[in-house]
């Protein structure tokens, strides 16, 4: 990526007035015309647009230009300030839609009743002027939105759902009004003609009802973000000169001390400086069991303090917190577009013009055969039944719901493309340490070479480890603390990559290296110090460069334990016909031990970060066939493999580097979430396919019926509204999903 493109800043806008996939495409088109815009993605379900600005310095200027461009296109755009909580106007919008539907229903009900009564007892139809009085407010007052939005679409050279509704309902109203005027002013007409006001009114009423149901469902689909945002308290209790002062959470700064009482949410990421309590982190990690926190433990903003008073020193606030990063990931996933949605958008771009052409052909076809009135009604039915609401809602609603359900179980999916890739995974490569195992190693054996003793080897290895965050380093430091050793901070510390895996540094001016078997062999040294009882342990070696040669000083054996549920997690993957493989920098004996314990049949040991990347590529090709591969890891050494895989999955307490390159981040250190990720991805993909099927099914069946006069405009309006509701409700079934681990 070039330097220029790397400057792109993502900005979010709330978009109101969209009703279908054609609206989405129209909004994207007008925003792209604004100079300095790199990319645009509009989401109908969330009613939001995500815009990439080429030059962040022009933020305020471009915000105004975008809002103006969208307004001129017939919609309304409002910049979403990331520093503020997103205001939720959906409830008031739903209430407005509800009452519009109720009023429209009240006007339409007498028309429907009289139509039914007239079918049973001819002559019971309401007088024409009463029908006109009831239908006209529905058509032009409650249905005015369709005319305004449809006119703007035509003015912009585009078509949308509103245009189809306006044309279809107007055809029935105009026909009825012409017949009514002709009856009252023509001296030759003595019998009041059959009018079609109930059709025009019911079209508007049904679609208003559909809009209300859609908004309710879309509100549920986007609820995960609002739930996460609600975890951040508006005020905090800050310690100022040992006094507790209530202040806004916005003024909280790094280094401050805040008090969190039982039942309150923790407002920041920080360290417990005083007190003990159980903290409920379920909304962030999906883990239902509260975690005990004592002095020195880290806490995460948004988690709930259960039963004790805590004093917390602030480490991160605002956009820097873990909660903010989670919200950002969920927003990115819900706002992004899956490849299948891009195809749907292209179809929608030509769908409305084609429908209008079919409606015209229908009208002229019936008129040519002497059926002018029928031609108007049947063409109106074509326009109404073909509204592409369901087509535009199928994919984004399922994506928003699926990503939200995953987030509640501690699975953060970066974007829609990652979700789609997860649904096709055939092979999963697992790092061993910290992924299938706990990563909390302990030193079980220190064996010195001749002329050295155990404490010397432990002191040198622990001294090197002072500058490392690796689990092996933590185990060595813990052991050195138990032995009360005085350690020396190394100089020129670095991580060894080119000769396998390890660390190096200067102690008292002499180079020391501590690493795995591959590093040792690269110096031409033999690893024959550790006895057979260390087989299956993680082995590392200490080497010194002295008198112009490398010499082996000793070896250290570490012991790790399997993560709870690791064996079950592998079994669940295998039940899904997904192959599991271990890729580790550890020795073959340690890898074999873990593989046997969890039921994995294939493993590769003594791998460098580059080797892992190479093996991920190889796993993607088997017997000349391309396979979709995921990599699960938690460390910097896993980052190249995570990036090379079709899907990178960073697990639990992994490093920021691993999380940055991964398409999925698991908030818990539980390998069972890997199978759960694939499961929710497959279920979401299934809901998308079902939604698109029903959207196309309604049109494929409905349009021919309307063309041949087998579908009235009123029934078409009901069917169109029903199709949208069916698609959205089907997607909302994902709300019941949760990871079973």
**Domains delineated in the chain:** 9-87 (3.30.70.100), 93-223+331-399+710-730 (no CATH), 235-320 (2.70.150.10), 407-437+563-685 (3.40.50.1000), 439-561 (3.40.1110.10)
In this prediction, residue 201 has a pLDDT band, given cuts at 50, 70 and 90, of confident
CA-closest candidate to residue 210, choices 389, 82, 44, 350: 389
**Which tokens go with 103?**
């009023």
Please state which of the ranges 223-237, 244-258, 354-368, 471-485 shows the lowest mean pLDDT. 223-237
Rounded Cα distance between 593 and 609, Å, is: 21
Exposed/middle/buried for residue 289 (C-beta within 10 Å: 0-12, 13-18, 19+): exposed
| pLDDT of amino acid 588 | 84
> 12, 97, 415, 431: which is the annotated catalytic residue?
431
- Tell me the mean pLDDT in the region 19-28: 77
First CA to last CA across the chain, in angstroms?
39
CA angle 729, 733, 736 (to 5 degrees): 145
Q: Is the pLDDT of residue 131 over 50?
A: yes
Instruction: Report the pLDDT averaged over residues 301-306.
Output: 85
Regarding pTM above 0.75, the answer is no
Q: Stretch 8-36: mean pLDDT, rounded?
A: 82
Strands (E), 296-354: 298-299, 304-305, 310-316
β-pairing, 310-316 vs 502-507, is: unpaired
pLDDT at 583: 92
Q: Where are the alpha helices (DSSP H) in 487-587?
A: 517-522, 566-575
pLDDT band at 359 (very low <50, low <70, confident <90, very high): confident
Collapsed DSSP state (helix, strand, coil) of residue 35: coil
* Bigger pLDDT: 491 vs 4: 491
List Cα–Cα distances, 581 to 189, 498, 700, 728, in angstroms.
85, 24, 46, 38
Give the C-alpha separation, 241 to 146, whole Å: 61
pLDDT band at 383 (very low <50, low <70, confident <90, very high): confident
Q: Which is nearest to 582 in space by CA: 439, 441, 432, 438?
A: 432
Cβ–Cβ < 8 Å for 389, 210: yes
Average pLDDT over residues 455-476: 88
Q: Using alpha carbons, select from 485, 486, 458, 483 the residue that is nearest to residue 472.
A: 458
Question: Which residue in this structure is represented by tokens 């028309």?
Answer: 111
* Closest-CA residue to 718 (of 204, 362, 212): 204
Give how far the C-alpha of residue 651 lies from the chain's centroid of Cα atoms, to the nearest Å: 17
Q: What is the mean pLDDT of the chain?
A: 81
Rounded CA separation 157/113 (Å)? 40
Query: How much is the pLDDT for 43?
Result: 77
Task: Grade residue 189 by pLDDT with cuts at 50, 70 and 90.
Answer: low
CA nearest neighbour of 260 among 309, 316, 315: 309
Residue 269 bridge partners (DSSP):
316
Encoding tokens for residue 55? 């030059």
Indicate if the pLDDT at residue 687 is higher than 60: yes
* pLDDT at residue number 58: 79
In this prediction, residue 1 has a pLDDT band, given cuts at 50, 70 and 90, of: very low
Q: What is the pLDDT of residues 691-705, one digit of tens each?
A: 888 878 887 888 899
Tokens describing residue 85: 């909580």
Average pLDDT of the segment spanning 501-522:
86
Q: How far apart are CA 571 and CA 204, in angstroms?
A: 54
- Residue 297 is among the residues annotated as catalytic for this protein: no
Give the separation between CA 265 and CA 280, rounded to whole angstroms. Answer: 9
Of the listed ranges 68-77, 340-349, 515-524, 618-627, the least confidently predicted one is 340-349
User: Does position 286 have pLDDT exceeding 70, yes or no?
Assistant: no
Cα–Cα distance measured from residue 117 to residue 49, given in angstroms and rounded to the nearest whole number? 49
**How confident is the model over 501-512, as a mean pLDDT?**
88
Take residue 259 and report the two structure tokens written for it. Answer: 């008090």
**Cα(222)–Cα(631) distance, integer angstroms:** 29
What does each C-alpha distance from 365 to 53, 372, 451, 705, 708 come to in angstroms? Answer: 50, 9, 103, 15, 10
Q: Output the six-digit token pair for 266.
A: 């923790």
Q: Is there a contact between 653 and 552 (Cβ–Cβ < 8 Å)?
A: no
Tokens of 57: 């310095």
Q: pLDDT tier at 2 (50, 70, 90 boundaries)?
A: very low
Residue 185's pLDDT is what?
A: 75
């Amino acid at each position: 990526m070039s330097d220029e493109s790397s400057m792109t800043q993502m900005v979010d806008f709330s978009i109101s007035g969209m009703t279908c996939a054609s609206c989405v495409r129209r909004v994207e088109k007008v925003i792209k015309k604004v100079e300095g815009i790199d990319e645009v993605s509009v989401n109908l379900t969330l009613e939001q647009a995500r815009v990439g600005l080429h030059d962040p310095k022009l933020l305020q200027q471009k915000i105004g230009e975008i809002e103006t461009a969208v307004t001129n296109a017939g919609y309304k755009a409002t910049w979403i300030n990331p520093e503020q909580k997103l205001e939720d106007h959906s409830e008031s919008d739903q209430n407005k839609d509800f009452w519009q539907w109720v009023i429209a229903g009240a006007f339409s009900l007498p028309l429907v009743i009289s139509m039914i009564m007239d079918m049973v007892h001819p002559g019971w139809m309401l007088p024409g002027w009463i029908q006109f009085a009831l239908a006209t407010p529905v058509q032009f007052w409650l249905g005015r939105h369709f005319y305004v939005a449809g006119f703007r679409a035509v003015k912009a050279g585009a078509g949308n759902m509103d245009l189809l509704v306006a044309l279809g309902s107007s055809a029935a109203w105009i026909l009825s009004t012409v017949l009514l005027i002709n009856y009252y002013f023509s001296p030759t007409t003595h019998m009041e003609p059959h009018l079609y006001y109930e059709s025009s009114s019911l079209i508007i009423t049904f679609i208003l009802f559909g809009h209300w149901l859609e908004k309710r469902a879309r509100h549920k689909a986007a609820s995960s973000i609002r739930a996460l945002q609600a975890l951040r308290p508006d005020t905090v209790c800050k310690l100022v000169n040992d006094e507790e002062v209530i202040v806004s959470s916005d003024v909280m700064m790094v280094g401050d001390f805040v008090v969190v009482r039982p039942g309150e949410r923790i407002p920041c990421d920080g360290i417990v400086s005083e007190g003990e309590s159980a903290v409920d982190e379920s909304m962030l990690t999906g883990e239902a069991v509260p975690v005990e926190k004592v002095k020195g433990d880290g806490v995460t903003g948004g988690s709930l303090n259960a039963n004790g008073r805590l004093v917390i020193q602030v480490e991160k606030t605002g956009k820097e917190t873990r909660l903010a990063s989670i919200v950002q990931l969920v927003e990115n996933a819900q706002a992004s577009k899956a490849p299948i949605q891009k195809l749907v958008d292209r179809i929608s771009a030509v769908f409305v013009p084609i429908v209008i052409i079919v409606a015209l052909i229908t009208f002229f076809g019936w008129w040519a055969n002497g059926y002018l009135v029928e031609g108007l009604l049947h063409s109106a039915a074509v326009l109404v039944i073909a509204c592409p609401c369901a087509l535009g809602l199928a994919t984004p609603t399922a994506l928003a719901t699926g990503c939200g359900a995953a987030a509640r179980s501690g699975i953060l999916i970066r974007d829609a493309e990652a979700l789609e890739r997860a649904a096709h995974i055939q092979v999963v490569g697992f790092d061993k340490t910290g992924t299938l195992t706990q990563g909390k190693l302990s030193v079980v054996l220190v064996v010195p070479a001749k002329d050295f003793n155990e404490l010397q080897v432990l002191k040198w290895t622990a001294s090197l480890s002072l500058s490392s965050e690796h689990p092996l380093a933590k185990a060595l430091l813990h052991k050195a603390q138990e032995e009360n050793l005085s350690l020396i901070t190394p100089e020129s510390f670095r991580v060894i990559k080119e000769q396998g895996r390890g660390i190096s540094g200067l102690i008292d001016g002499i180079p020391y290296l501590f690493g795995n078997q591959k590093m040792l062999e690269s110096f031409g040294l033999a690893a024959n110090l550790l006895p057979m009882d260390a087989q299956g342990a993680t082995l590392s070696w200490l080497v010194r460069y002295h008198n112009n040669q490398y010499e082996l000083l000793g070896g250290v054996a570490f012991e790790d334990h399997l993560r709870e549920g690791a064996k079950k997690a592998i079994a669940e993957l295998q039940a899904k016909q997904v192959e599991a493989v271990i890729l580790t920098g550890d020795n073959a004996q340690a890898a074999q031990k873990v593989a046997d314990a969890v039921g994995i049949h294939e493993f590769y040991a003594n791998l460098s970060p580059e080797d892992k990347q190479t093996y991920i590529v190889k796993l993607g090709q088997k017997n000349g066939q391309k396979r979709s591969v995921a990599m699960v890891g938690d460390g910097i050494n896993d980052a190249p493999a995570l990036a090379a895989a079709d899907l990178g999955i960073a697990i639990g307490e992994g490093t920021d580097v691993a999380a940055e390159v991964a398409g999925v981040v698991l908030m818990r250190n539980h390998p069972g979430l890997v199978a759960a990720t694939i499961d929710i991805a497959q279920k979401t993909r299934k809901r998308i396919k079902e939604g698109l099927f029903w959207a196309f099914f309604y049109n494929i069946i409905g349009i021919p019926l309307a063309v041949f006069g087998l579908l009235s405009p009123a029934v078409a309006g009901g069917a169109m509204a029903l199709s949208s509701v069916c698609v959205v409700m089907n997607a909302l079934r994902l709300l019941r999903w949760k990871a079973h681990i």
